[in-house]
A and B are shown apart, each in its own frame.
Chain A
Amino acid sequence: MNLKNVKSLFKKELLDVLRDKKTVIMMVLVPIVLYPLLIVVSLQVMSKITTTMSEKTYTVAIESEDSGVISDLLAKYEFADYSLKFVETSEPEKALAGENIDVYIKISLENGKEKFEIYYISSITNSNYAADKVSKFLSDYSSDITKKTLEAAGLDADEVLKPIEVSFKDKATNEETAGSLLSSILPFMLVVSLLMGTMYPAIDTTAGERERGTLETLLTLPVTNSEIIVSKFLVVGTIGIISALLNVISLIGVGIYMYSMASTYNSNISGGVDIAKFIPALLIVILCVFAFAVFISAITMCVTAFAKTYKEANNYITPLSLVVMFASFIGFIPNVRLTEKAALFPVANITLLIRDMLSFKYDAKVVLLVLLSNVLYGFFAIWILGRIYNSESILFGESAAGVQIFERRKNLKPGGVPELGDTILVLLVTIFAMIYIGGAIQLKYEYLGVFGTQLLILGIPVFAALYTKKDFKKTFRINKCKGSYFLAAAFMIIGAVLLGIVITSIIGIFLPESIDETYELQKSLMGDNFFSTLFIVAIVPAVCEEFMFRGYVLSALSDKFKPKTAMLIAACLFGIYHMSLVRFIVTAFLGYVSCYVVYKSKSIFTGSLMHFINNGLSVLILYYPNLVGKIFPVLTSETLDIVDLLFLIIIGILFMYLGNFIIKAPKGKKADFN
């Protein structure tokens, strides 16, 4: 990559984007003018309403069989003190319904006790306020009577009514109060402003460029794809960061305005806020903005790059922004804690981290994990973007990410493999189903719930394939294959498992907690007995997850990308699906090996076998650690030294080499063990 080229492309893109009215409006006008204006105006309207409400007097009617009670009350109390005005009416019920009066009181005597009924209409604001005033008045009336009774009995009313004294003292510093106020709105604001800020430049530099036909011009110039992508990415990220920072500045401006307004009205607020205390938190927040900018610009560009026109890109980005906003709402839910697992959940991790930072909670490891995972996801998206720009069928082709699932079924012709758009939808739906439906049924039915979740993972792609009339056999690679491939698959997976142990223990050196996580996971899988666990943990996923990842996803990807790229994306998706950063590398690696064997053997069954062996091995170790430990000590030993690791690497590579040798062996030769 030539940095000079990136610089000139960056300059060109930035100029081009900044001269687009839409971007400038979204980036500058909305945060600097619109938000503050809206907030200030709505605040003023609110305060105006409150003042008129408090200054207003409300009309009240009183109904009583004994008219003496009414005149008694009127004589003793100044109604105006309670913002009330007594009116006489013969039909108070009608008058209330006609809004001629705001509230009326019905007084009756029951067992020698005065009974007050307050009639009001809760859907009318004035009536509500009036009822409030009446209740205040009646409470005074009631305590006056109490006082009188007590005094008549010769007691000190104050002593009896207030036997203890209660007062509240807020020990939160001004900074903590300000921080908690900020943390309730800033995270969401930052995420949304970054999303909004990157959206238009992302569309403009990808789909917009293609629609206007300037992409082909760019391709005639001696620049590489990576230079094009990096420069575009930098522009989108820059615009996103600028708009986020402008949002923060305007938010702080509005905050100061609100604070000064509040302190003029309310003398309780005393002492200033020491801005210096926020500096470390704000620095990390700014880091978060950068990391999230990497993530969100890469994701938006990745989505829009599939589109051919501005309009199409808009259609793709709308669901994405809904998902992002939804995920950022998690920051609003109290008691959701930023655990190490939550730190890997995109968007939510940023909102939670910013919230925690502003509440002065620091955990260096989690901070690092959040920043790192954002950048990592971002780079993965950029890598996919690179594949898109390498794919002539997407760049020059008709439409890249077809979505057929919303088309009418009778218009679809049977055959072929899934479209990319459908695949993305299927993955999203599956993830949501897994989290919400799967989570719920696992809570309720435990082991059966796990089974049900797996059925969802199988059912959603199968339904999608059937609905869009795909070639079922081709999509899910349901083909017979030679026995030698099964042998190869077994060799490959055993080699991969051994290398996986090496990877896990190397990660364990850097992140000791990861070992605990793996252990916990294994423990949680333990069911009633060996066979039921084997069924749920090894057999079911070997069918369901294979259909999803080595079937539906891999077929769709290999239709659009080169085999290696397709396998790598499918493997990474498989890794992400397991929702653990520490296990990501291992699961993605195992996923890649499975993809490779399935692709070569053209049969899903080899993948199922590999999946079964891998998961079955874990179950075996879980139930019979001593037996396994006796035969293969390295599989169960807690710590591995360098000699063990080297041994594992050599044996692992040897197995994989053997497996690959069988796969690549020419047909009909001795490799065919069938």
Chain B
Amino acid sequence: MLDANNLVKTFIRNEKHNTKISFNAVDDISLKVELGEIVGVIGPNGAGKTTLLRMLGSLMKPTSGEVKIFVDGKQISDGTEIKRHIGYLSGNTKLYGRLSTRELMVMAGNLYGMSEPEIEDRVAMVSKILNLDGFIDNRIEKLSTGQTQRASISRCIIHNPMLYIFDEPTLGLDILSSNAIVDFMLKEKEAGKAVLYSTHYMEEAEKLCDRIIIINKGKIVAEGTVNEIKEIGGSDNLREVFGNLVKSKEDWV
């Protein structure tokens, strides 16, 4: 579904006042996500997770390397076209507070190129899946945190994409809200879709992911199934594995 090769992203960081340092936030990362699997990206703060996912979602252009997706056997590499087939959600993708959830979905549907009746059907369906009925016509700024989260998901699934990219979707949510998202990802996986997501929470990753990619300082430190990762890290506890891998990496840098 998703195939990214040798992605590099160079930033120029403004140090205090005048000095500028050029560094690679993402440094030569290649990865694949297939239909019907959930891939987790794990890394400490500043490891380059968000930058990586932004490039995969075509929000940013890579300095070098390329992102391709395959839909019905056809290869797509144009950024705007790629966005059509992705549902992208992150802590930074906030919603228009002065619009209602329904207006938001209709707007997104229009931009994804759906027809009016298509949008109408899909809004009804999404509203049922996410249980939006009580607040679908309220202004988003008036909603509770959990409702806002559901509105956020509704926005990125309105076009029924085959690939989801979620950047720390459960960060800062209570257990009920984060469970809703976890359940949603599992359901979509069962429906044969591809999910790529980044997280801080080891337990969540262990429970959800078919494969895990650990990155640190813009590079892949380890990748594989949960069991393979545990083997590489030399521990049965994913939290310890993460500590070992990231630390050992830091040692030889």
A12 to B110, CA, bound (A): 11
Q: List 14 A-B contacts (CB under 8 A).
A: A5-B110, A12-B99, A12-B107, A212-B94, A214-B93, A214-B96, A217-B96, A217-B155, A221-B83, A413-B17, A413-B18, A414-B18, A416-B18, A469-B18
Inter-subunit contact A222/B112 (CB<8 Å) = yes
Q: Mask for A201-222, Cβ within 8 A of B = 1, else 0?
A: 0000000000011101101111
Q: Is B88 on the interface with A (CB-CB < 8 A)?
A: yes
CB A566 to nearest CB in B, in angstroms, measures: 15
- Asked if A20 and B80 make an inter-chain contact with CB atoms under 8 angstroms apart, the answer reads no
Question: B96: which A residues are within 8 A, CB to CB?
Answer: 12, 16, 212, 214, 217
Nearest 7 A/B pairs, CB to CB:
A213-B94, A8-B110, A220-B88, A19-B98, A222-B83, A416-B18, A217-B93
Check: A9 CB closer than 8 A to any chain B CB: yes
A171 within 8 A of B: no
Interface 1/0 per residue, A1-33 and B, CB below 8 Å: 000110011011001100110000000000000
**Residue from B12, B60, B95, B111 in contact with A222 in the complex, judged by beta carbons closer than 8 Å:** B111
Which B128-174 residues have a C-beta within 8 angstroms of A?
A: 139, 155-156
Which of A4, A15, A221 contacts B98 (CB under 8 A)?
A: A15
Q: Once the chains are docked, how many angstroms separate the CA of A412 from the CA of B18?
A: 7
Q: Is the pair A216, B59 in contact by a Cβ cutoff of 8 Å?
A: yes
**When A4-B110, A416-B20 are in contact, do A396 and B60 touch as well, CB less than 8 Å?**
yes
B65 an interface residue at 8 Å Cβ cutoff?
A: no
Known A-B contacts A12-B99, A19-B98, A212-B94; the reply to A220 vs B111 at CB < 8 A is no
Distance of A112 Cα from B177 Cα, bound (Å): 106
Which of A8, A220, A416: most chain B CB closer than 10 A?
A220
B92 and A392 contact, CB distance less than 8 A:
no
**In the complex the two chains form, what is the Cα distance from A404 to B84 in whole Å?**
42
* Contact B99 A16, beta carbon cutoff 8 Å: yes
A416 surroundings in chain B (CB, below 8 A): 18-20
B residues within 8 A CB of A213?
A: 92-94
Which residues of B have CB within 8 Å of A641? none
Which residues of A pack against B, CB within 8 Å?
Answer: 4-5, 8-9, 11-12, 15-16, 19-20, 212-214, 216-217, 219-224, 392-393, 396, 398, 404, 411-416, 469-470
Whether the pair A415, B19 counts as a contact (CB closer than 8 A) is yes
Contacts of B59 in A (CB 8 A): 216, 219-220
CA distance A15 to B97 in the complex (A): 11
State whether B17 touches A392 (Cβ < 8 A).
no
* Residues B156 and A220 in contact, CB atoms below 8 Å apart: yes
Q: How far is the CA of A396 from the CA of B80 in the complex (A)?
A: 18
By a beta-carbon cutoff of 8 Å, the part of chain B in contact with chain A is 11-12, 14, 16-20, 54, 57, 59-61, 80-81, 83-84, 86, 88, 90, 92-99, 103, 107-108, 110-113, 139, 155-156
- Name the A residues within 8 Å of B12 (CB-CB): 393
Residue of B nearest to A224 (CB): B80
Residue of B nearest to A20 (CB): B98
Query: Are the C-beta atoms of B111 and A217 separated by less than 8 Å?
Result: no
The reply to whether B93 and A216 contact each other, CB–CB distance below 8 Å, is yes
**Contacts A221-B83, A413-B17, A413-B19 given; does A15 touch B112 at CB 8 Å:** no
| Residues of the B chain whose Cβ atoms lie less than 8 Å from the Cβ of A415 | 18-19
Shortest beta-carbon distance from A240 to chain B in Å? 20
Find chain B residues with CB under 8 A from A398 CB: 14
Closest chain B residue to A204, Cβ basis: B98
A414–B19 Cα distance when bound, in Å, is 8
**Alpha-carbon distance A73/B62, docked complex (angstroms):** 99
Residue of B16, B19, B98 ringed by the most chain A CB atoms within 10 A: B98
CA of A214 to CA of B104, assembled, Å: 12
Residues of chain B with a CB closer than 8 A to A469's CB:
18
**Nearest residue, chain A, Cβ from B54:** A396
Considering the complex, give the chain A residue whose CB is closest to the CB of B139.
A19
Distance of A470 from chain B, by nearest CB (Å): 8
Task: Report which of A212, A221, A392, A413 forms a contact with B108, defined as CB distance below 8 A.
Answer: A221
A5 to B112, CA, bound (A): 9
Cα of A269 to Cα of B130 in the assembled complex, Å? 71
In the complex, what distance in Å separates the CA atom of A101 from the CA atom of B143? 70
Q: Are B111 and A5 in contact (CB under 8 A)?
A: yes
- Could you say which of A4, A9, A12, A15 has the most chain B C-beta atoms within 10 Å of its C-beta? A12
Asked if A8 and B111 sit within 8 Å, CB to CB, the answer is yes
Contact B17 A223 (CB under 8 A): no
Distance in angstroms from A18 CB to nearest chain B CB is: 9
CB distance from B198 to the nearest CB of A (A): 15
User: Considering only CB atoms, which chain B residue lies closest to A5 in the complex?
Assistant: B111
Cβ–Cβ contact A222 & B80, under 8 A:
yes
Let me know if B18 and A11 touch, CB within 8 A. Answer: no
B104–chain A nearest beta-carbon distance, Å = 8
- Residue of A19, A217, A414 touching B94 (CB-CB under 8 A): A217
Using CB atoms, name the residue of chain A closest to B17: A413
User: What are the residues of chain B within 8 A of A11 when measuring CB–CB?
Assistant: 107
- Min Cβ gap B98→A in Å is 4
- Residues on A with C-beta less than 8 A from B11 are 393
Q: How far is the CA of A411 from the CA of B17 in the complex (A)?
A: 8
Q: Are A221 and B95 in contact (CB under 8 A)?
A: no
B156 cross-chain contacts in A, Cβ below 8 A:
220
In the assembled complex, the Cα of A8 lies from the Cα of B119 at a distance in Å of 13
A212 neighbours in B (Cβ, 8 Å): 94, 96-97
CB distance from B115 to the nearest CB of A (A): 11
Closest chain-A Cβ to B58's Cβ sits at a distance in Å of: 8
Enumerate chain A residues within 8 angstroms of B103, measured Cβ to Cβ: 12, 15
Specify which of A216, A392, A396 lies most central, judged by the most chain B CB atoms within 10 Å of its CB: A216
In the assembly, what is the distance between CA of A112 and CA of B77, in Å? 109
Q: Which of A4, A19, A217 has the most CB of B within 10 A?
A: A217
- Report how far A217 CA is from B94 CA in the complex, Å: 6
Which of A8, A15, A224, A393 lies in contact with B99, CB distance below 8 A? Answer: A15
Contacting residue for A223 out of B20, B80, B86, B139, CB 8 A: B80
Question: A266 vs B224: C-alpha distance in the bound complex, in angstroms?
Answer: 93
Q: Is B16 in contact with A216, judged by CB distance below 8 angstroms?
A: no
Expressed in whole angstroms, the minimum distance between the Cβ of B180 and any Cβ of chain A is 19
Cβ distance B101 to chain A, nearest Cβ, rounded Å: 13
Q: CA of A644 to CA of B20 in the docked complex: distance in angstroms?
A: 52
Report the minimal beta-carbon distance from A356 to chain B, rounded to whole angstroms: 42
Measured CA separation A213–B92 after assembly (Å): 6
Taking CB atoms, residues of chain B closer than 8 Å to A8 are: 107, 110-111
- Asked if residues B111 and A214 are in contact (CB atoms below 8 Å), the reply is no
Contacts beyond the supplied A16-B96, A404-B17, A416-B19: 6 A-B pairs with Cβ under 8 Å: A12-B103, A213-B92, A224-B80, A412-B17, A415-B18, A470-B18
From residue A622, how far is it (CB to closest CB) to chain B in Å?
45
Chain B residues within an 8 Å CB radius of A4: 110
Please, which residue of chain A has its CB at the minimum distance from the CB of B78?
Answer: A222
User: Which residue of A is nearest B9, CB measured?
Assistant: A392
A12 to B, closest residue via Cβ: B107
A12 to B98, CA, bound (A): 10
**Interfacial chain A residues near B14, Cβ < 8 Å:** 398
> What residues of B have a CB within 8 angstroms of the CB of A5 in the complex?
110-111
Which residues of B sit under 8 angstroms from A413, Cβ to Cβ? 16-19
Query: How far, in angstroms, from A8 to B103 measured CA to CA in the complex?
Result: 11
Query: Once the chains are docked, how many angstroms separate the CA of A392 from the CA of B25?
Result: 14
CB distance from A21 to the nearest CB of B (A): 10
A392 to B10: give the CA distance in the assembly, Å. Answer: 11
A412 cross-chain contacts in B, Cβ below 8 A: 17-18
* Chain A nearest CB, measured from B160 CB (Å): 14
The answer to whether B90 touches A216 (Cβ under 8 A) is: yes
Supposing A214-B95, A216-B93, A221-B83 touch, asked if A9 and B18 sit within 8 A by C-beta, the answer is no
CB atoms of B111 and A221 under 8 A apart: yes
Contacts of A9 in B (CB 8 A): 107, 111
Tell me the minimal C-beta distance from B55 to chain A in angstroms: 10
Chain B hits for A216, CB < 8 A: 59, 90, 92-94
In the assembly, what is the distance between CA of A69 and CA of B117, in Å?
Answer: 101
Query: Min CB distance, A465 to chain B, in Å?
Result: 12
Which residue on B lies nearest to A220, using beta carbons? Answer: B88
